[in-house]
Structure 1
């Protein structure tokens, strides 16, 4: 089977291979990735989405007006404050989900143009900037963040690979590529399948790819 690309992680060369779409479709999509799977053209209301997510968030996550409060187990409260002004200073912090596999809260940060995501550690409040909602390995050892904007190029396209050591995420590999990554799903603790978006004959096409991460 031919491969379509290679990734270098440390001293290891990882290879991307085509994978079965039938197998991919049988793998579960983690719940906080479901919004990312919405059809193109669907516009989500972040405030309405957050109200829905907060109902299942528990007592540690609260919104008070413009401020989102995240209460950590060390007693610290992380306070993220929106700025609703119609200017380049506009920012909205949207609570998305609690990720038990990596003991973090996921927050979407909406800017005047574009945005990014934050992981907030539930114990310490430490904040980690990531490209997109993470897909977390079953054992919590790895997570990946895929991004795809191969048509308009407003956002980076490519892949981030993170490893969690002693409860702390470390970026071990990142690449902006000519192809994008959508809806990554784990086959096991080391193997991930994802949709690879690429520009072909004037339009975006998609194929399913497989990547095996090191032990």
Structure 2
């Protein structure tokens, strides 16, 4: 008689040699990432916890996304020419956006006067500022700008109808139906900037921040799986280095 055994995992030859009659195999040891439980939840509001699930990288890489900015230089000797990058974007921005010297001029449709944003590249921590045109988000009718300060900076959305300004963490990823967008940020190594996630609701020209959470892990490249769920690369500090995994989270009820 031939006996066939079905094991819950594939044992190697050494393990099989020590399994006697009636012995059960030892449970497999999960990878370290699955023992880092603090990476699997996010407290949205007191009393409400969002679950973070393992995501498929193959699915993630097939989801649509937009690259707004060039990649960071790999070495300190390499520098990005911000003015050249902006000139290239302005060529396709249309007549409502233009630059004249240090002034970026935007023309919202519902205002009589254009919006003028003037660069002030002075050696003063509190007054130094420059505005870089990044692009247009026609699905939510916003312009995206990168604001550079003496140290660091932030991103700015400007409504193409009213000129209303909204400060955000990063270039937004807009849901397919255009009703929500998320901004993720990751700086888990240097910690100069906040790491975490912002979730916004779009109601015509009104942008409402539903919630934001700063976390010890970072959010890189969020992409929408559907109108409620995002996949993103979760960066975390472990064993003296930054590691990354693709995860899935439902951010809209």
TM-score normalised by L of structure 2:
0.78
The answer to whether 1:185 aligns with 2:223 is yes
The structure, 1 or 2, with the larger RCO (C-alpha pairs under 8 Å, 6+ apart) is 1
**RMSD of equivalent CA atoms:** 2.0
Q: Quick one: distance in 2 between partners of 1:140 and 1:194?
A: 19
**Which position in structure 2 is the counterpart of 1:55?**
91
1:84 equivalent to 2:121? Answer yes
**CA shift digits 1:172-211 (9 cap, x unpaired):** 1111110011111111211111001000111100011111
Q: Residue 184 of structure 2 is aligned with which of 130, 143, 146?
A: 146
Could you tell me which residue of structure 2 aligns to residue 112 of structure 1?
Answer: 150
| Larger relative strand fraction | 1
State the 1:45 CA deviation: 2.3
The Cα of 1:72 is off from its aligned counterpart by 0.5
TM-score, scaled relative to structure 1: 0.91
Where in structure 2 are there 5+ consecutive unaligned residues? 1-33
Query: 1:73-106, CA deviations, whole angstroms, 9 ceiling, x for partnerless residues?
Result: 0133111100012331221100000001110000
Task: Give the CA deviation at 1:114.
Answer: 0.2
Deviation for aligned residue 1:11: 7.4
The answer to whether residue 244 in structure 2 is matched with residue 209 in structure 1 is: no
Q: CA deviation at 1:38?
A: 4.8
State the alpha-carbon separation in 2 of the partners of residues 57 and 9 from structure 1.
39
Note if 1:164 corresponds to 2:202.
yes
2:4 aligned residue: none
Decide whether aligned partners of structure 1 residues 58 and 186 sit closer, same or farther in structure 2, where only a CA change above 3 A counts: same
Q: 1:66 aligns with which of 85, 89, 102?
A: 102
Q: CA deviation at 1:10?
A: 8.6
Contact 1:196 1:208 in 2 (8 A): yes
Structure 1: gaps spanning 5 or more residues: none
Question: Judging changes above 3 Å, is the alpha-carbon distance between structure 1 residues 168 and 40 closer, same or farther for their aligned structure 2 residues?
Answer: farther
Question: Which position in structure 2 is the counterpart of 1:135?
Answer: 173
- Alpha-carbon distance change, 53 to 15 in structure 1, aligned in 2, over 3 angstroms: same
Conserved? CA contact 1:101–1:138, under 8 Å: no
Structure whose alpha-carbon radius of gyration is higher: 2
Residue aligning to 2:61? 25
